[in-house]
Amino acid sequence: MKGTTIAELGNGNRPLDMITYHKDGRAFLLLANSRRGVMKIPTEGAGGAEAITSPVQGTKGIGYETIAGLKGVVQMDKLDDGHAVILTQGTDGAMNLDTVDLP
Three-state secondary structure readout of the chain: CCCCCCEECCCCCCEEEEEEEEECCEEEEEEEECCCCEEEEECCCHHHCCCCCCCCCCCEECCCEECCCCCCEEEEEEEECCEEEEEEECCCCCEEEEEEECC
pLDDT at 29: 96
pLDDT at 38: 97
pLDDT at 1: 86
Q: Mean pLDDT for each consecutive 10-residue tract of the chain (103 residues)? A: 88 91 96 93 92 91 94 96 97 96 97
pLDDT at 12: 83
pLDDT at 65: 95
